[in-house]
Amino acid sequence: MFRQLRDVASAAALNFTFDGKALKGRAGDTVAAALLANGITTCRETPVSGAPRAPYCLMGVCFDCLVVIDGVGNRQGCLVPLTEGMAIETQHGRRHVEEV
């Protein structure tokens, strides 16, 4: 469904995990692009109904690509560059803020 338009052979490979599963991405990709390239189309669930959502606009407008990155929720996957060793998780519902 998705194909990369740039020369991916010359980009450095990066290792990351999504919901504990080891995956590979490319330097220069965003988190959302790396998930889509790995066939992952659902990255969050809505707070009210729990309906699955996937990256949609890929430019930071729609907020459908929210994920938890390295323990921090509400991160827009389409705006965050993929880095080596990132731990990315599905965001379930709304982010709960812990009281200090």
Name the stretches of the chain with pLDDT < 70. 1-9, 95-100
Amino acid of residue 3: R
pTM given for the model: 0.84
DSSP string, 21-86: EEEEEETT-BHHHHHHHTT----EE-TTT--EE---SSSSSS-TTEEEETTEEEEETTTSBP-TT-
pLDDT score for 8: 59
Q: Does domain 28-91 have CATH number 3.10.20.440?
A: yes
Q: Domains of the chain: which residue ranges?
A: 28-91
Q: Is 91 helix (H, G, I), strand (E, B) or coil?
A: strand
